[in-house]
Structure 1
């Protein structure tokens, strides 16, 4: 539980004090998309197939701290500093770096029993994180396109 509390505090402070590169509506829309994506994955892999979970099997209140206190903030940090104006190599390196960070954080979370595997393998996550990050980037691009189209 200590990792959860420290993570909630650190990630929320980081988001609060980071220099903002994405505006409020982009932050709101991408946070909602990230929550929806996380909830969909958790519903399928955790609740339907019981492959992993937070703290204990089934739904528990501590898991909500992770879902709402950590996941959206990490995604906001990822998107806020994404190198949109850089080359493909820089973008790929950025996604790879965040995927390694996410996999390492998941390993730490598993070690501290914040997260558990029940048939899930760490390398499944390592393969899926880049896809999830690409979905987040794509969603932000759609939000920006819609913002431009709705501007007077």
Structure 2
């Protein structure tokens, strides 16, 4: 539980203190989209097939806190610092950096309690390595769509 509390505090403080790009509307959209997408995916992988879980295989308050307060601020940081106006090499390098950072964080979350809180069933780290770039790309596309909707609403 200590690791989860540290992650929640560190990620949220960093995301909100460093934000220079995202509007409040965009933050709400990113937060809700992230929680929704994670819940849909985890309903199957976590709760039905036990690919991984937080703390115990059964739904629990600690796992709910991880779902709500860990990944959304990470997505905020990813989007806030994303080099939108840079060349393709820099944007791809940025995504690779984030995938590596997310994987390292996942390894730390796998530590025994009280530091770790994430557990693998049949899930393996390389599944996350393959899936994370796709999820980050989807997040980028969603953000661009929200920005387009905001521009349209302002007309």
Q: Tell me the TM-score normalized by structure 1.
A: 0.96
**Offset at 1:27?**
1.3
Aligned to 1:50, what secondary structure does the other structure show?
coil
Q: C-alpha separation between the residues in 2 aligned to 1:19 and 1:58?
A: 35
- Contact 2:19–2:77 (Cα < 8 Å) also in 1: no
Question: Which runs of no fewer than 5 residues in structure 2 stay unpaired?
Answer: none
1:151 aligns with 2:150: no
Structure 1 ranges of 4+ moved more than 3 A: none
2-structure distance, mates of 1:132, 1:89: 19
2:56 counterpart SS class: coil
Alignment of 1:69-80 (within 5 A): 69-80=69-80
Runs of 5+ unmatched residues, structure 1: none
Aligned residue number for residue 54 of structure 2: 54
1:124 aligned residue (104, 121, 127): 127
Aligned equivalents of 2:150, 2:46: Cα separation in 1: 35
Aligned length: 152
Q: Does 1:110 pair with 2:110? A: yes
Aligned equivalents of 1:139, 1:19: Cα separation in 2: 18
Q: CA deviation at 1:15?
A: 1.7
Distance, in Å, in 2 between the alignment partners of 1:55 and 1:97 is 27
Q: Note the alpha carbon deviations across 1:87-121, whole angstroms, 9 max, x for none.
A: 11111111111011111111111123410110011
Greater shift in the superposed pair: 42-51 or 126-135 = 42-51
Q: Do 2:99 and 2:133's aligned partners in 1 also have CA atoms closer than 8 Å?
A: yes
SS in 2 for 1:20: coil
Q: What RMSD over aligned residues (CA atoms) do the two structures have, in Å?
A: 1.0
